[in-house]
Amino acid sequence: MPDPVTVEGESTLALWQGAWIAALLTGGFVWGLIFYVIWRYRRRHADEVPVQTRYNLPLEIFYTIFPIIMVIVFFDHTIKTQNIVLNDEDVPVQNTVVVVGQQWSWTFNYPDAVDGEGGEAVNVYESGTGNDIPKLVIPVDKTTRFELRSPDVIHDFGVPGFLIKMDVMPGQDNHFQVTPKKTGTYAGKCYELCGVYHSRMLFTVDVVSDEEYQEYLRGQYDAGFTSAEPICGGENADTQVGIEPDEEVSGDELQDERYCQ
């Protein structure tokens, strides 16, 4: 497992390590019993018929109760970790990014991130194509909530350094949160086989200071990548494999595309 770069990732790593420790201890105990029984009750030449043991009530109770306790403990720790990752414990969210997975790239929306003309907050975004890998930018030491949407098929949004991935499903909005602990650039990709050009669905994540984050948002606004609401994919969202390397897509062209509902 990679070292977690988020607060939530630490909980995921602890759950993963705990599950492996429990599995190894249980496996070692069971295999130890198996080999002991094979050795202890092996056939001896002097024995015509081995001793027949029919019941052992204490042992049967142990074999029944102990697995139930293990399942309850695993379930409890899984739910606690899930609540941390999904923000089901009313932890304040300081930033929101609407992530759209589309064939065959990603669009990252930052709703109400920048004050536009007249002081009205607007959405800014970055939309990748089949030829350009989009960049997701989030601030360090702040909790960011990802809202996941898809206009076409099932994708899977994941960043190894965050120790989490989640399905991006059409007709269903999934979400999770991260709180990065340090700045840096991290690789992300789609983990769901979503079609012929699934391998193109890559992206990078830049974790930056709050000042650099605000500069990035303002830069997207100045470049014209704005909309009233989060968009559901850039130009040619369904046919991005046809974009040639020398084609340029401006913010104005993207602005009139479909919106996430």
**Bridge partners (DSSP) listed for residue 122:** 114
Tokens for 145, please give them: 């909530």
Residue 117: CATH number of its domain: 2.60.40.420
**Bridge partners (DSSP) listed for residue 130:** none
Round to whole Å and give the CA distance between 193 and 125.
Answer: 25
Average pLDDT, the chain: 82
- Specify whether 112 is located in the same domain as 177: yes
Residue 261, domain member (yes or no): no
Q: 201 CB contacts (<8 Å, ≥6 apart)?
A: 101, 104, 105, 106, 155, 189, 190, 194
Percentage of the chain beyond pLDDT 70 is 84
- Specify whether 125 is located in the same domain as 241: yes
pTM, two decimal places: 0.77
Tokens for 76, please give them: 């409890």
Edge-to-edge strand list for the sheet holding 135-139? 135-139, 202-208, 184-190, 155-159, 164-168
Beta strand spans in 118-171 (E): 121-127, 135-139, 144-149, 155-159, 164-168
pLDDT digits (tens, 9 = 90+) for 119-172: 778 888 898 877 788 999 999 999 999 999 998 889 999 999 999 899 999 888
- Specify whether 137 is located in the same domain as 242: yes
Query: Last residue of some domain: 34, 61, 86?
Result: 86
- Specify whether 81 is located in the same domain as 104: no
pLDDT digits (tens, 9 = 90+) for 24-39: 999 999 999 999 988 8
Task: Identify the domain containing residue 81 by its residue range.
Answer: 7-86
Residue 2, domain member (yes or no): no
Q: What is the pLDDT of residue 250?
A: 43
Q: What is the pLDDT of residue 185?
A: 93
pLDDT at 188 over 90: yes
Residue 248 CB-density burial (10 A; 0-12 exposed, 13-18 middle, 19+ buried): exposed
Query: Last residue of some domain: 66, 86, 106?
Result: 86
Q: What is the pLDDT of residue 246?
A: 45
